[in-house]
Amino acid sequence: MLFNPKRGDFKLGQVRTPLDKAQTVSKLWDDAPVVLCGDFNCTLKSHLYNFISDWKLDLSGLARDKASGQGSGEFRPPRPKNYMMR
Domain spans of the chain, in order of start: 8-71
Mind listing the pLDDT tens digit of every residue in the chain (86 residues)? Answer: 777 777 777 888 888 888 899 999 999 999 999 888 887 777 777 777 888 888 787 778 877 677 666 665 555 566 666 655 55
DSSP class of 34: -
| E strand or H helix that includes residue 9 | helix 8-28
Q: What is the pTM of this model?
A: 0.60
At 23, phi and psi to the nearest 5? -65, -40
